[in-house]
Amino acid sequence: MEAIRDAMESVKDMYRDLRRMNVRQMMSQGVQLGKRQEAALERNRLIVTSALMIWKSLMLVTGSESPVVVVLSGSMEPGFYRGDILFLNMGKAPIRTGEIVVFNLDGRDIPIVHRVIKVHERTNGTHIDILTKGDNNYGDDRALYNKGQEWLHQQHIMGRAVGFLPKVGMVTILMNDYPYLKYALISVLGLL
């Protein structure tokens, strides 16, 4: 109630000031307001651009298409829960068992984070067969692969998990499940 009364007071003050000013003062006030909004817009543009630059350089440095991923399912519990963030690095080292890899199956766009349990690498090094399994799953991932696919190959692997932050990615999952939260967050950030 007090807020509404204060708002009314400030609006009344503004109106009184406006009436006292002449046209030239009003225009310069308008320009100042415009400048402030322009400055805010510029700040937002800078923030977005620098975030994009940081993301792209992370992609270059880690050699992975997606240097940071959010764990979406509970198939790696109790190691990783839904909402945890994983830092990925591709690197030139060959894939070996025990590594937690993020892979993309052909025709699907949601990456999966599981552990490698079988590796067969050809002698000339050109080809590698990989089988993965989620720690919390009963069986290996052949049930998840495409029909008739028995192994993963180098091109399916997007990166290895090298670091981990608990629960920070929950925001992404919430925004995915409740889209209105996404719009609300963007509008709040825009107002700041």
Partner 1 sequence: MFSAKAVYGNSARLRDGKVQTMHSIWHRANSSLTFFGTVAAVLCLLTTGTDFFHESNPSVSLKLHDVRRLVQHHGSKEHAVVTFDLDADLRDVFSWNTKQLFAFVQAEYETPENRINQVVLWDSIIQQKPPRPPPPPLLRRGDKAYIRLNAHKTKYAFIEPGRYLRNREVNLTLVWCVMPRVGAMYTQQRVLPAGKLP
Question: Do the beta carbons of residue 116 and residue 95 sit within 8 Å?
Answer: yes
Q: Are 97 and 119 in contact (CB under 8 A)?
A: yes
Is residue 165 close enough to count as binding partner 1 by CB under 8 A?
yes
Among 12, 108, 120, 153, the residue binding partner 1 under the rule CB under 8 A is 120
User: At its nearest, how many Å lie between partner 1 and the CB of residue 126?
Assistant: 11
- Residue type, position 125, single letter: G
Pick from 163, 183, 184, 190 the residue near partner 1 by CB under 8 A. 163
- Chain position carrying tokens 């509008």: 187
Query: Is 75 among the residues known to form the active site?
Result: yes
Burial class (CB in 10 A: 0-12, 13-18, 19+), 90: middle
Q: Does 109 bind partner 1 (CB under 8 A)?
A: no
Question: If binding is defined by CB under 8 A, does position 122 make contact with partner 1?
Answer: yes
Secondary structure class of 164 (helix, strand, coil):
strand
The residues binding partner 1 (CB under 8 A) are 2-3, 6-7, 9-10, 32, 36, 78-79, 94, 96-100, 115, 117-123, 125, 129, 135, 140, 161-166, 191-192
